[in-house]
Amino acid sequence: MAQKVDTKTNKVRLYYDSRGNTLNVWFDNPQNEYISEETGDEVVLNKNSNGKVIGFEKLNYFPSGKTTKSLPVEIMVS
């Protein structure tokens, strides 16, 4: 049987920076970021001190010149 996850501590955090046009997705506390690694394709991996990926940043999330005041999010759990 699968173990249940404590959703109070294991949150997925989304941050959209409209000025920088970046979307950040975190699977752990952002303060645990130790190093960032560019992968190409405008994606940056955020890692903790053990080298585990704890988040990523998508650069140029919206096409150039486009802006938004809201960010639609769809969540699916199976």
pLDDT tens digits, one per residue of 12-30: 999 999 889 999 999 999 9
Each residue's pLDDT tens digit, 26-71: 999 999 999 999 998 999 999 999 999 999 999 999 888 777 778 8
Secondary structure letter of residue 60 according to DSSP = S
Instruction: Give every CB contact of residue 71 below 8 A, 6+ residues apart in sequence.
Output: 14, 16, 23
